[in-house]
Amino acid sequence: MHQRNRSRFAVGLVAAAGLVATAQIQATPITVDTNLWTLDTAPSHGGSTTSWTSVGGNQAIQNTNTNGSLISNFSYTGDFVFSGKLTPTTASFNDDDILGVVFGWTDAANHYRLGWEQGGWNDTSGASGLWLVREQGGVSSILFQQELFWSDNVAYDFEVGRSGNQISFSLAGVSQSFVDTTFMSGKVGFYTESQTARFEGLSSAPQPPGATVPEPGSLVLLGAGLLGAGAARRLRR
């Protein structure tokens, strides 16, 4: 092999290795352990509960009809996806108020919140049913609302995230995205306001919603194939 071709081959090998390494980093989820998360103020009606019924691993349960949020011990900058299941429960108290997810969280006055109720409390912004609200400096802006209400003891899949300049959510068959760069970094979490709930199957990763990252082994094969094809073309010259 000529020296120039060997150099090109080496550069291609390094590039392919970098591609594999990057994909492995993107595919690695953040370990979720709610036992490490922090109690904070409820984002809409205020008030902070002193404890949750059960926390730890990728789940948390609130059987007390109270207000408060549970906020992650990690923060994102840029693209991310946070997903899991939320269930309005009736095991210890049957009510019709608010549960939801927060992201881009700095504090109760600066964040996005995806909230949901069953016909009880509205969000302090005036939104009812299902909503996405941006709270900036204590001022609420409704980005989305729909008169859709949850059912008791049903586990609903949710997903919130950012991809570039867009934020998005998916819940109960409703999916929406918005161009919004207000909070490009922040924590995630969930909250209840006069409502009992269970959050479980929580997963978090530094990649945009809906991103499909190939397995590292597949990328190795892809990189080797590309390099092999390049070498074959050089030999035919």
CATH number for the domain that contains residue 170 = 2.60.120.560
The string of DSSP codes covering 33-98 is -GGG-EEE--TTT----S--SEEETTEEEEEEEEEEEEEEEEEEES-EEEEEEEEE--SS-----E
pLDDT tens, per residue, the chain with 237 residues: 555 555 554 444 444 444 444 444 445 779 999 999 999 999 999 998 889 999 999 999 999 999 999 999 999 999 999 999 999 999 888 999 999 999 999 999 999 999 999 999 999 999 999 999 999 999 999 999 999 999 999 999 999 999 999 999 999 999 999 999 999 999 999 999 999 999 999 999 998 887 654 544 544 444 444 445 454 444 455
Residue 210 lies in a domain: no
For residues 220 and 141, membership in a common domain is answered with no
The pTM score is 0.79
For residues 221 and 190, membership in a common domain is answered with no
pLDDT number for residue 93? 86
Range of the domain at 122: 31-205
Largest CA distance in the chain: 77
State which H helix or E strand residue 163 sits in. Answer: strand 156-163
pLDDT number for residue 207? 84
For residues 184 and 223, membership in a common domain is answered with no
For residues 132 and 166, membership in a common domain is answered with yes
For residues 222 and 198, membership in a common domain is answered with no
pLDDT number for residue 1? 55
